[in-house]
A and B are shown apart, each in its own frame.
Chain A
Amino acid sequence: MPKIRRKTFAAREDLIERASEVAKKKGFSFYAFLNEILQLTLQAEEMGVSLRSLIEERGLLKAAKEASFVLGLENLWYEMTDIACEKAKRRTLECWVEAGAWLAKRYVSGGIKNPFLAFKRDLEAFTWNVSELDVEEGKGEVSIRIISPKFSESYTFLLEAFLESALETFGYTRFNKDVSRGTIRMKAYRGKS
């Protein structure tokens, strides 16, 4: 068996100790553990990402799961939305409105310091298919702009209802909307007038 040539690098002792403890728990030797980590780091690098991004992406799926979202194919989803709207528009709309309120309530009741910011962050993460998404929160108002040429008409209107319902749960009561297929422009205000 050919001997593997090795070189050395200097690493922080405290880090090595922590890594050794983790390796021991996992039933690896420190060197086997280190080699695996470094190989996976390079594998991730080849995919154009860092380990930090991997952790963040894993967090995205976890967040989506906790928010009760599932992944489905876009075309299939638009077709189903169209059929559902054609057959039971009112009930379909109600269902989206309920889902929007439920999602927002989850943030509002979750003991989060800034629930709207958490909602905004997740909304941005979950809508990776959208070409343009801007959510801006000002003093007593929020503006949302979504542009996606791929949206079907029904999907656009249902998504708008979903967002409006979510914003209502966050305490916004008045809305200015401009909605057409693939485009949602919405401004929401707190208070009565």
Chain B
Amino acid sequence: MSVGQSKSKRLIPIPEALLRGLMEASSNEGKPLNRYIEEALQQAIKVFETGQNLKGMVHYFEILQSQKASGAIFTPLTVFDFMTSKVYITDKEKLLDVWFKSGKWYGKYLTEKFEDPVQALADLLQAARWDLNEVNVKEIDGKIKLRCTSTALTKEGTELLLKFISGALDGMKCKILKSEFMKGLILVEFTLCT
């Protein structure tokens, strides 16, 4: 008998509906219910003990899955920065157009995929672009304000990202009222079109 099995047990009450779902899930995995719940508890404790948040982790996973589905790939940041700055010098207009179109496609994709595509865009940017310190969406007096800040973004990178965001909002059929940027800061004000 293993050490784990020799531990004493305690009866824990949980809502019947929740237990039914867990019984189904444990049966799908071919595990006894108690083991299934204990494993979930162990994993959750591990998450919290390392200072993470389980709810955030589930949300993160959804984001990552949609990133995979939308054809996102990992790229070395140094290469990414070089390419943006290099191409920006020689083909600025072409590059801005490419980023806008790419954003527009992404906006349409998010509209199909998420109930709140604007918030999804903010979450995706926050999760995928860790060169951004903050991505914030706020609704004030019927207008939505999106703000991105970064201490790492170059001026070119900031302008391209704004173009991508503008494209995404266009793809979501939002009406952009105002947009501005400076190195490491993007501000966009828009309304949702019904």
Residues of A at the B interface (CB closer than 8 Å) are 4-16, 18-19, 22, 25-26, 31, 34-45, 47, 49-55, 57-58, 60-61, 64-65, 67-77, 79-81, 83-84, 87-88, 91-92, 95-96, 98-99, 102-103, 126-129, 162
- Which listed residue (B7, B16, B37, B40) contacts A13, Cβ 8 A? B7
CB pair A80 B87 closer than 8 Å: yes
- Which listed residue (A55, A70, A126) contacts B131, Cβ 8 A? A70
CB pair B79 A75 closer than 8 Å: no
Selecting from B63-71, B169-177, B180-188, the interface stretch reads: B63-71
Residues of B at the A interface (CB closer than 8 Å) are 4, 7-19, 21-22, 25, 28-29, 33-34, 37-49, 52, 54-55, 57-58, 60-62, 64-65, 67-68, 70-80, 82-84, 86-87, 90-91, 94-95, 98-99, 102, 105-106, 127-131
The 4 A-B pairs of least Cβ separation, nearest first, read: A71-B128, A51-B43, A76-B102, A99-B76
Pairs across A and B, CB under 8 Å, 27 listed:
A5-B17, A6-B16, A9-B34, A15-B42, A19-B41, A35-B18, A40-B54, A40-B55, A41-B25, A44-B61, A45-B28, A47-B65, A50-B29, A50-B43, A51-B47, A70-B80, A71-B74, A72-B72, A73-B73, A74-B73, A75-B102, A76-B98, A98-B78, A102-B76, A103-B76, A126-B74, A162-B79
Tell which of B33, B67, B86 has the most Cβ of chain A within 10 Å: B86
A93–B98 alpha-carbon span in the complex (Å): 22
CB pair B46 A55 closer than 8 Å: yes
CB pair A80 B83 closer than 8 Å: yes
A39–B15 alpha-carbon span in the complex (Å): 11
CB pair A35 B41 closer than 8 Å: no
A69–B129 alpha-carbon span in the complex (Å): 9
B41 neighbours in A (Cβ, 8 Å):
11, 15, 19, 34, 37
A74 neighbours in B (Cβ, 8 Å):
71-73
Which residue of B has the minimal Cβ distance to A63?
B74
A2–B8 alpha-carbon span in the complex (Å): 34
CB pair B87 A34 closer than 8 Å: no
B87 neighbours in A (Cβ, 8 Å):
80, 83-84, 87
A8 neighbours in B (Cβ, 8 Å):
11-14
